[in-house]
Amino acid sequence: MTDQQALLATTTSAVRAIIDEKVAELVAAGTARPKVGLVPTMGALHDGHGALFEQARAENDLVIASIFVNPLQFDQPEDYEHYPRDLEADLELVTEYGGDIVFAPSTQHMYPGFPDAPHIRVSAGQMGQMFEGASRPGHFDGVCTVVAKLWNILMPPPPAVFRSYFGRKDAQQLAIVTRMAKDLNIDVKIRPVELVRAPSGLALSSRNVRLDDHGMEKALGLSKALHFLSDQATRGEPLDISAARDMIRAHEDVDLDYLEIVDPDTLTPLTEEQLAAPLEREALALVAAWVPPVRLIDNMLLSP
């Protein structure tokens, strides 16, 4: 199912009708277990999202995109208000990236009665309180709540199988949604997708459009510090987090929030001893910093 304009649905009943019909068509055409891939996004699509679609397209019979700027995961009203939105451009991009269906509900459709609703929300637990969660209280509860809703709305009927694509750009989010599917027995397979960078090294992000040239230059400190740690890891040298932190702070008015090296699955920080010895297994360097007027995150897997 390619080369066609992606179908837009803005309500749960409309999108489910389309999914049911497409799955039935695939079964009728002889696909015993149609594969359905979901790419959840907040829109303002760029080539980082493109990588998710590319992988989803290659692995599935039907590719669904969701586009929803989820108010529950923003802790700053200013960030929510200024988050870039352009549904028309996004629809074209989803089509270009090979998506079949776009689910783009309104806030009131997702959360009837918002802001007093939803009453029941998913807690991301301890994993949601570290790093991004420590700086953005409630962020991962908001992510888990919307992702659980999207999975419930968009899960295809049997005999189809369901996969959900998440970028390594948001490494903590990937670890948390993987854990949520397992802990809550949700029948979805999580597929991680590699982080996409600009040629400069900057991790592609919808928020980058708010950076001017000078801001872009300052933002490069994040990826440079991560490469510095990655090179140390490959050479089997001790990991010098303080030097990496200084590389980011060297840029005027960049406010480093955190730079830590953790276990990729549990997000537990490595001990001083582990940092001083050559790595025994893959570790994850996580960084977040304010590069006015935006807060940026980045990360890199460090290989022994």
Residues making contact with ligand AMP (CB under 6 A): 41-42, 48-49, 51-52, 166-167, 169-170, 193, 195-196, 203-206
Q: Distances in Å between the alpha carbon of 93 and those of 6, 7, 48, 124, 264? A: 9, 13, 12, 31, 31
Min separation Cβ 167 and ligand AMP, Å: 2
Q: Which amino acid is at 288?
A: A
User: How many whole angstroms separate alpha carbon 128 and alpha carbon 142?
Assistant: 10
Give yes or no: 49 in active site: yes
Closest to ligand AMP by CB, 33 or 182: 182
Closest to ligand AMP by CB, 9 or 296: 296
Q: Distances in Å between the alpha carbon of 181 and those of 83, 130, 163? A: 28, 19, 11
Min separation Cβ 37 and ligand AMP, Å: 13
Min separation Cβ 219 and ligand AMP, Å: 13
CB closest to ligand AMP, residue no: 167
Which position among 46, 49, 82, 227 bears the catalytic label? 49
Q: Which residues contact 283 (CB under 8 A, 6 or more apart)?
A: 233, 261, 262, 263, 264, 270, 274, 301, 302
Rg (alpha carbons) of the chain, rounded to whole number: 20
Min separation Cβ 278 and ligand AMP, Å: 28
Closest to ligand AMP by CB, 49 or 149: 49
Q: Label residue 267 left, alpha or beta by phi (over 0 means left) and psi (-120 to 50 means alpha).
A: left
Closest to ligand AMP by CB, 67 or 259: 67
In a 10 Å sphere around its CB, with 0-12 CB exposed, 13-18 middle and 19+ buried, how is residue 121 labelled? middle
User: How many whole angstroms separate alpha carbon 191 and alpha carbon 164?
Assistant: 6
Instruction: Report the DSSP beta bridge partners of residue 301.
Output: 284
Closest to ligand AMP by CB, 9 or 196: 196
- Dihedrals phi, psi of 49, to nearest 5 degrees: -65, -35
Give the single-character DSSP code of 279: P
Closest to ligand AMP by CB, 36 or 279: 36
Min separation Cβ 280 and ligand AMP, Å: 27
Min separation Cβ 238 and ligand AMP, Å: 29
Q: Distances in Å between the alpha carbon of 41 and those of 3, 102, 113, 228, 243? A: 21, 10, 23, 30, 35
Q: Among all residues, which ones are annotated catalytic?
A: 49
